[in-house]
Copies of this chain bind each other. A is one copy, B any other.
């Protein structure tokens, strides 16, 4: 089916086609830098506060009592309205932007509202889309888990015994999740320069093994009370939408600190996410089966369908300070053993209260080859080889001034792409300690 056309000029290769309609938070000079909900459409964004204020939602009377959600500085209130409302709003906005819109008076023929609410994207700035209550990072990319496990324990013992029985995860740091474009400062920390020394004596210095982790993030749109698990059959209803994520990782700090309670300072110095939240409805046509799990899983994790992940084409670019860009990975978002509904069901099974605005990370997404890996640790084979870059340059890990750009997009049909835009971060040099 050819995608419906829009009266608005949308570039054919835009991630933000009429088939997408992702939500975010913007500021612009038009609104004196007030944070406002918005949707991205082609090279424009629709300021939903301005749109709602000027009767843009008058064609959707069911939303009338809820319009204040578009006057909030985050998407939490909109998300908390639940999936049926997200669906209605998205469909309505698709109609509003359609060439054959049933509401031409709303925006197509309303140049005053276009001027007030439809802003060129380059004149706006994006912000963290949600106030994040808790951030949990999972480890559902089995190829990554296998690759990294092999480095430490060999292929026969690469995966821990629990790995195929439950989606392994850990609590992350919510306060340091930042929106795409935020610069990331290289962390200082304790590292063990000579792991063979006895006794082991750590050094304190800037991280030498600064890495990326290519992940997908999932924002929640509902809350369950403490002590009341979210059943697997309902878990998909808790999903507001998805973002790209870069879980920056300090490998040398991690190696020294993580026993026995898991990663801490190795991760909490920054986690980048893309700015636009793509709704599950927009991704529904790109469902794909999870990776095959040979283990018989417990009933509380059993889904009705296997195609509960998405074939999102993911790419990672590394741009060196001299401006040369190399695509260092191309993989698929379907490279997961566990889906987000399974993660939600597991996370809450003991009674953990999940909340609107919570962020779940998938864990690093790697394929099984050499060019589809989600971390530099895997690309450089635990530091054993250089990653080849454009311009005769090489890297094992990130240098100061390096920029990492993750992109994700679904579909191949021009004019109907459903994409995430970019998740970008540039590395700043570490703080100089003088104490």
Contact = CB atoms under 8 A, between A and B. Distances in A.
B185 A352 contact: no
Interface stretch (A114-122, A171-179, A309-317): A171-179
A168 interface: yes
Interface in A248-278: 250, 253, 256-266, 268-270
A279 to B, nearest CB: 23
Contacts of A299: 204, 433, 435
Given A228-B431, A268-B171, A260 B347 contact: no
Contacts of A169: 261, 264
B226 A347 contact: no
A392 interface: no
Contacts of A383: none
Contacts of A261: 139, 168-170, 262-263
Within the oligomer, what is the number of copies of this chain?
2
B160 A260 contact: yes
A352 B133 contact: no
A350 interface: yes
Contacts of A346: 265
Task: Describe A's contact surface by its main secondary structure.
Answer: loop
Contacts of A133: 174-175
A262 B170 contact: yes
Interface stretch (A63-71, A91-99, A187-195, A404-412): A187-195
A300 interface: yes
Interface string A350-368: 1111110010000000000
A428 interface: yes
A235 B266 CA distance: 21
Given A202-B165, A256-B162, A300-B204, A173 B171 contact: yes
A172 B65 CA distance: 37
Interface in A405-435: 428, 431, 433, 435
Contact of A229 (B168, B172, B188): B188
A401 interface: no
Interface in A342-398: 346-347, 349-355, 358
Closest 4 CB pairs of A and B: A262-B262, A187-B350, A185-B227, A170-B261
Given A265-B352, A268-B352, 10 more contacts: A170-B170, A171-B264, A175-B353, A176-B226, A185-B351, A188-B229, A188-B351, A229-B433, A258-B260, A269-B350
6 contacts: A134-B174, A173-B352, A175-B352, A176-B352, A207-B350, A269-B350
